[in-house]
Amino acid sequence: MKVSSQIIIDAVLDTLYMVSISLFFGAILGFILGITLVVTRKGHILENKIIFSIINPIVNTLRSIPFIILLVAIIPFTRLLVGTAIGTTAAIVPLVLHIGPYISRLIENSLLEVDEGIIEAAKAMGASPLQIIQKFLLPEAFPSLILSVTTATIGLIGATAMAGAVGGGGLGDVAITYGYQRFDNITILVTVVILVVLVQIIQSIGNSLERKLRRVS
């Protein structure tokens, strides 16, 4: 291996940094969009044709842009938001815009799985729309939401590999610049193994959390 272990460690930390920060903001964005997509649809508690038909195509558009294109296409916006278009922090902006809409679709699916009867019971009790979301929809969908966020996190790890394009660093960047471009197969192998382990750990945590929440032993 032609790279020092310090480079690998830094790359792992960069990846974790990018994933966690963009997951945090992406999840906030995703939850807001996902919940809105559910409650404003036809026949739901806050049916609103206008809001739904604005958000729905926006989410679809953002989801259809390949991440590598999104990354460079929004450079002016990124610069406006975080003051720079290069580096790890700069990579977070497109990552959030990439993962947020993805999470919103997953959240939407999870919330739509909640039995309509539950919402009817909530309405019969006189629950307000906010209470229905907070006390009925989200708790009932929670195990499934955990799985959605797990899936999104793993998707995010894949996306961070491309962050190297804007000097974002991370494991993917090391694999390309040190491994691929310098024909260092060992470095490629090491980064891939680390990524595999990372994904395995996250998926297991997600699965066991979900099982625990559903009280399946």
Partner 1 sequence: MIEFIEMTKEFQIGTTVVTALNNINLTIQKGDVFGVIGFSGAGKSTLIRTVNLLEEPTSGRVLVNGKELTTLSKKQLREEKKNIGMIFQHFNLLRSKTVFENVAMPLVLSGVKRSNIEGQVREVLSFVGLQDKAERYIDELSGGQKQRVGIARALVTKPTILLCDEATSALDPQTTKSILELLKRVNIEYGITILMITHEMEVIRDICNRVAVMENGRVIETGNVLEIFSAPQEETTKNFVQSVVRDDIPQSVYEQLKTKDQSKKIYNLKFIGVDVGQPVVSQVAKKFDVDVNVLFGNITELQGIPFGNLIVELVGTEKEIDKAHQFIQTKDIQIEEVIADEGELANNYRRSARYAVHG
117 binds partner 1 (CB under 8 A): yes
Cα separation, 50 vs 29, in Å, equals 19
Q: Which residues of 134-154 are buried (b: 16+ CB within 10 A; e: fewer)?
A: eebbbebbebbbbbbbbbbbb
Q: Which helix (H) or strand (E) holds 47?
A: none
46 binds partner 1 (CB under 8 A): no
The nearer residue to partner 1, 66 or 129, going by C-beta atoms, is 129
The nearer residue to partner 1, 143 or 172, going by C-beta atoms, is 143
Q: Which of residues 155-214 bind partner 1 (CB under 8 A)?
A: 213
25 binds partner 1 (CB under 8 A): no
Q: Which of residues 120-159 bind partner 1 (CB under 8 A)?
A: 120-121, 123-128, 131, 135-136, 139-140, 142-143
The correct pick among 47, 49, 58, 115 for binding partner 1 (CB under 8 A) is 115
> What are 205's two structure tokens?
């945590």
Whether 154 contacts 202, CB under 8 Å: yes
Number of Cβ atoms within 10 Å of the Cβ of 41: 18
Chain positions contacting partner 1, by CB under 8 A: 115, 117-118, 120-121, 123-128, 131, 135-136, 139-140, 142-143, 213, 215
